[in-house]
Structure 1
Amino acid sequence: MIRTYAEAVEWIHGRLSFGIKPGLKRMEWMMERLGYPQRRIKAIHVAGTNGKGSTVCYLRHILQEAGYSVGTFTSPYVEQFNERISVNGTPIRDEEIVELVNVIKPLVEEVEQTELGAPTEFEVITAMAMYYFGKMNIQDVVIFEAGLGGRFDSTNVIYPIISVITNVGFDHTNILGDTLEKIAFEKAGIIKAGVPVITGAEQEEALQVIFEKAKSVKAKAYVLGKDFEIKDYEAMENGERFSVDTLFSKYRDLTISMLGFHQVKNAALAVMTADYLKTYYSFIIEEEALRSGLEKATWIGRFEKICDKPTVIIDGAHNVEGINSLVETVKTHYPDKKIHVMFSALSDKPLENMIQPLADIAETITFTSFDFPRAAKAEEMYEKCKHENKAFNEDWKQVVSGKKKEIANEDVLLITGSLYFISEVRSFML
């Protein structure tokens, strides 16, 4: 029996030792024992390489502004563990975490004695979310963010009313495959029979895989740039302005506060999803709610300015596509500023391909590390960089404090890399 929140979180994190184990057998076993809570959830499923969290955030805000109560399941957390399971953006209470662990823990101990083996941390948290939203606190709608891939992701035990695939890029290639077709095949695994899928995937080879999967299960696919379009994009000082034409409506001069054209794409996915819900599922979403939802949406740790003089920006760009989007956003919004980069990442990432774009925009670049099992060594990353003004220091707190004092007030300190790293930095600086 778990009695305290600290014990509950410690037990959950203790499951990290079981690593990543793709497959749905353990989840299906637990769902059966729990009385199939996922069947009682009106769910939206979001997968993709990048932009999942932001897309979930935009869609949640739109639905909230329309008067709906919205549950979310996201990962990883940035400020506190509980935020992974939230209602209207508010993380569930510590006592609810304890209650959920006491429901799930006996099942975990039982299943790991079978041939199915030990559930992972992500499987445990997903099971907690399914039980919470299916039995303890039923919502008007729940948005589930897939963890890794889609086909064998723990969240894929749900049968959603709509699926979203944000994009397809190279990440977790050791698990998902080393070609866009293979990765798209895993992402497309969330597409269910008769359930529409909305996607921001751009590469022809990825789209072909998504189309084939959708066709095979009689699911209609809607593609950004084809079935719905972004128009009149304009970068502003504190946000982005754009229009979206869907198959059902035209929305002019929408604004968001999250910076970058990649965020405009994420917002467009949320607009199309909301429009589909309104058209085919009788959700009452007025244009004013949609506009207001987009404007209010913020997602911590994504191109987030956390102080001025000097400007300090943190961004969880944890793969090549994320880095490229970050670099373009910096060029658009800070074209005349000196950029000082601080970078830390996990060792299983394509480090050279992530470092070079950052080095190209950097006045100085400093590599550091943090306390995480897969964190890359600062010196290892330093050796991969060709920048003439580079440095490394394993102690990231020293780097942050030193850089803030060292650079000019009008310069920008850009801290980026692993979301786990960004979470620690954000907590320390705020």
Structure 2
Amino acid sequence: MFNRYEDAVDWIHGRLKFGVKPGLKRMEWLLKELGHPEKNIPTIHVAGTNGKGSTISYMLHMLKEANYNVGTFTSPYIETFNERISVNGEPISDVDMLNLVNEVKPYVEKIEQTDLGGPTEFEIITTMMFLYFGKVNQPDVLLLETGLGGRLDSTNIIHPILSIITNVGYDHMNILGNTIAEIASEKAGIIKQNMPVLTAVEKDEALQVIKNKAKQLDAEILSVGSDIHILEHSTYEQGEMFTVKTDSYLFENLKIQMRGQHQTKNAALAVSALHLLRKHNKLTVSDDQIYKGLFKAMWKGRFEQVKNNPVVIVDGAHNHEGIESLIETATRHYPDKQVHILFSALKDKEYEEMIHRLSSIAATMHFTTFDFPRAEAAEKLYSACKHIEKSYSESWQEMLDKLLQLYQGEKDDVIIVTGSLYFISEVRNYLVSKKGS
């Protein structure tokens, strides 16, 4: 038994040594012991390489607008560990987190004595989440983000009311497969018998895999591009404006505050998801609540402006697709600005190509590292860059403060911090706390 929240969280983080162990046997064992709390929760299951968190945020805000009690499970966290398990956008309390750990811990110790072995950090957090939403505070609907992949992901033991696959790109290839089709097959593992699935996957080979899986399982499938159309997309200062059209509905002049063309796809998925559930009498959200909720939606660390003078954007792009979306958004919203990139990444990412692409829009490139077991050294990142105007520092605070000082009062300069969600989480918290001091 733990008496302190800090000790409980340290215990969870101590499970990192068990790494990633794909498979559902430990989850099935733990949840059976706990009385299957996951069976009590109407769930929308979201998988994809990028865009999961933003799509969940759009749905959350629309459902909140309609006065639903909404649970969310997302990762990684940006400000506090507790935000991974949230109710109506508010992280659960330290007391709830402590109680969940104390309830789950004896079962973790028990399973460790079996052939199944010790559960991972993610398996434990997922078990705690199902326990919380199944027994402690049951929501009207749970928006559930996969951790990695889908088929063998710890979250994939539920029978959802709807599945969403945002997109498929090259990420976690050491676990999910080396081809787009293999990765798509893992993501498609969340599709369930007779339950509808929505996707914004564009690559033909990936989309075909998902459609085949849906057909096998008699699951209705709607796809952005062929069934869900995004029209009249334009940029305005705070975000994007666009129209979503299908055979059965039309939402004109939708506005979102999250910037980027990729965000219109995430928003279109969210709108279509709620409309489909409305059609099937699973949820009731009015058109007015869809418009209002969509506009209110924000997701920390996704092309988010955290400082005005100089303008600082933090973006959690950490793979090829994320970087391409970041470049497209920066080019659309800051066509006449000098862009200065501050970059850090994990060792297991293919960061050379990410650096090369970012260099194409950057006036200057700057590299650093941060306190994380898998973070790459700043000098190695610097060496991978061919840009003429470049620098590095092993202290990200030092490098960031230098850039802030350099571009203070410069209206034509924008600093973009990117490369890893873990990294931008630290930078964001630092800048937000400085703003408050």
TM-score tier by shorter-chain length is over 0.9
Cα distance in 1, alignment partners of residues 6 and 364 from structure 2 = 40
Cα distance in 2, alignment partners of residues 112 and 378 from structure 1 = 38
- Shift of residue 310, structure 1, vs aligned partner: 1.1
Cα distance in 2, alignment partners of residues 363 and 282 from structure 1 = 50
- Shift of residue 272, structure 1, vs aligned partner: 0.5
**1:206-355 matches, cutoff 5 A:** 206-355=206-355
**1:350-369 matches, cutoff 5 A:** 350-369=350-369
Q: Secondary structure at the match of 1:222?
A: strand
Contact 1:233–1:243 (Cα < 8 Å) also in 2: yes
Cα distance in 2, alignment partners of residues 151 and 281 from structure 1 = 28
Aligned to 2:104: 104
Structure 2 residue identity aligned to 1:46: V
Cα distance in 1, alignment partners of residues 98 and 232 from structure 2 = 49
Q: Secondary structure at the match of 1:361?
A: coil
Aligned to 1:12: 12
Any gaps of 5 or more consecutive residues in structure 1? Answer: none
TM-score using structure 2 length = 0.97
- Shift of residue 407, structure 1, vs aligned partner: 2.4
- Shift of residue 228, structure 1, vs aligned partner: 1.0
1:419 to 405, 418, 421: 421
Q: Is structure 2 residue 137 aligned with structure 1 residue 137?
A: yes
Structure 2 residue identity aligned to 1:233: H
Aligned to 2:179: 179
Cα distance in 2, alignment partners of residues 246 and 31 from structure 1 = 39
- Shift of residue 248, structure 1, vs aligned partner: 2.6
Q: Secondary structure at the match of 2:343?
A: strand
Q: Secondary structure at the match of 2:306?
A: strand
For each residue in 1:196-217, what CA deviation from the matched residue of structure 2 results, as whole angstroms up to 9, or x when unmatched?
1000000110011101111111
Aligned to 2:190: 190
Runs (4+) of structure 1 exceeding 4 A deviation are: none
Q: Secondary structure at the match of 1:215?
A: helix
- Shift of residue 282, structure 1, vs aligned partner: 4.0
For each residue in 1:385-409, what CA deviation from the matched residue of structure 2 results, as whole angstroms up to 9, or x when unmatched?
1100111111000001000111252
Cα distance in 2, alignment partners of residues 26 and 109 from structure 1 = 12
Aligned to 2:396: 396
Bigger drift between 246-255 and 123-132 goes to 246-255
Structure 2 residue identity aligned to 1:155: T
For each residue in 1:117-153, what CA deviation from the matched residue of structure 2 results, as whole angstroms up to 9, or x when unmatched?
1100000000000000001111100010001000000
Structure 2 residue identity aligned to 1:259: R
Cα distance in 2, alignment partners of residues 342 and 199 from structure 1 = 32
Structure 1 residue identity aligned to 2:252: R
For each residue in 1:217-275, what CA deviation from the matched residue of structure 2 results, as whole angstroms up to 9, or x when unmatched?
11111110111110100011111000001343100000000000001110000010010
Structure 2 residue identity aligned to 1:202: E
What is the aligned residue count? 430
Q: Secondary structure at the match of 1:266?
A: helix
- Shift of residue 352, structure 1, vs aligned partner: 1.0
Q: Secondary structure at the match of 1:243?
A: strand
Cα distance in 2, alignment partners of residues 311 and 358 from structure 1 = 18
Contact 1:55–1:270 (Cα < 8 Å) also in 2: yes
Cα distance in 1, alignment partners of residues 151 and 117 from structure 2 = 20
Cα distance in 2, alignment partners of residues 247 and 32 from structure 1 = 43
TM-score using structure 1 length = 0.99
Q: Secondary structure at the match of 1:157?
A: coil
Contact 1:248–1:275 (Cα < 8 Å) also in 2: no
Structure 2 residue identity aligned to 1:314: V
Cα distance in 1, alignment partners of residues 333 and 56 from structure 2 = 24
Cα distance in 2, alignment partners of residues 404 and 247 from structure 1 = 50
Cα distance in 1, alignment partners of residues 143 and 406 from structure 2 = 43
Structure 2 residue identity aligned to 1:413: I
Q: Secondary structure at the match of 1:159?
A: coil
Any gaps of 5 or more consecutive residues in structure 2? Answer: 433-437
Q: Secondary structure at the match of 2:118?
A: coil
Q: Secondary structure at the match of 2:328?
A: helix
Cα distance in 1, alignment partners of residues 246 and 26 from structure 2 = 39
For each residue in 1:329-388, what CA deviation from the matched residue of structure 2 results, as whole angstroms up to 9, or x when unmatched?
000000000011000011100111111111111111011000101101111111111100
- Shift of residue 281, structure 1, vs aligned partner: 2.7
Structure 1 residue identity aligned to 2:44: I
For each residue in 1:164-196, what CA deviation from the matched residue of structure 2 results, as whole angstroms up to 9, or x when unmatched?
000000000111011000000000000011111
Structure 2 residue identity aligned to 1:351: Y
Contact 1:47–1:164 (Cα < 8 Å) also in 2: yes
Q: Secondary structure at the match of 1:144?
A: strand
- Shift of residue 113, structure 1, vs aligned partner: 1.3
Q: Is structure 2 residue 365 aligned with structure 1 residue 374?
A: no
Identity of aligned residues (%): 55
Cα distance in 1, alignment partners of residues 40 and 283 from structure 2 = 18
Cα distance in 1, alignment partners of residues 282 and 417 from structure 2 = 43
Aligned to 1:202: 202
Structure 2 residue identity aligned to 1:426: R
Contact 1:319–1:354 (Cα < 8 Å) also in 2: yes
Contact 1:27–1:123 (Cα < 8 Å) also in 2: yes
Aligned to 2:435: none
Cα distance in 1, alignment partners of residues 281 and 26 from structure 2 = 32
Cα distance in 2, alignment partners of residues 25 and 252 from structure 1 = 46
Contact 1:302–1:315 (Cα < 8 Å) also in 2: yes
Q: CA RMSD in A?
A: 0.8
Cα distance in 2, alignment partners of residues 246 and 12 from structure 1 = 45
**1:58-97 matches, cutoff 5 A:** 58-97=58-97
Aligned to 2:386: 386
Structure 2 residue identity aligned to 1:88: N
Q: Secondary structure at the match of 1:254?
A: strand
